[in-house]
Amino acid sequence: MVFELKGEGHTFCNSLREALLQDPAVTFAAYRIDHPLVSSPVFMVKTDGSKSPEDALREAAARIVALTKVFEEKASRALK
């Protein structure tokens, strides 16, 4: 699967790539940004066929959301 992430940069793309690569069904996850000022990241995801790239992407997004919630809770406790 190849898709464009309009309005995103390296920060989110690196997080998404890492979350995708945690999935054993994902055989390839990468992105490219041709020019940081004029282009959007183009993401590529390939799986071994045991799940669709779309499902792998949904699960990776859920992992990012869960990790963000954990970070928010820990940061809130630390700042009290």
DSSP annotation of 24: T
What domains are there in the chain, each with its CATH number?
2-79 (3.30.1360.10)
Taking the complete model, does pTM exceed 0.85, yes or no? yes
> Mean pLDDT, to the nearest integer, of 20-33?
97
Residue 28 in contact with residue 45, Cβ under 8 Å?
Answer: yes
Least confident of 8-12, 27-31, 57-61, 62-66: 8-12
Residue 2 in contact with residue 44, Cβ under 8 Å?
Answer: yes
> Mean pLDDT, to the nearest integer, of 29-48?
93
User: What is residue 68's predicted lDDT score, i.e. its pLDDT?
Assistant: 95
Strands 42-47 and 2-4, bridge-based pairing = antiparallel
pLDDT level of residue 49 (50, 70, 90 thresholds): very high
User: What is residue 63's predicted lDDT score, i.e. its pLDDT?
Assistant: 97
pLDDT level of residue 79 (50, 70, 90 thresholds): very high
Residue 8 in contact with residue 41, Cβ under 8 Å?
Answer: yes
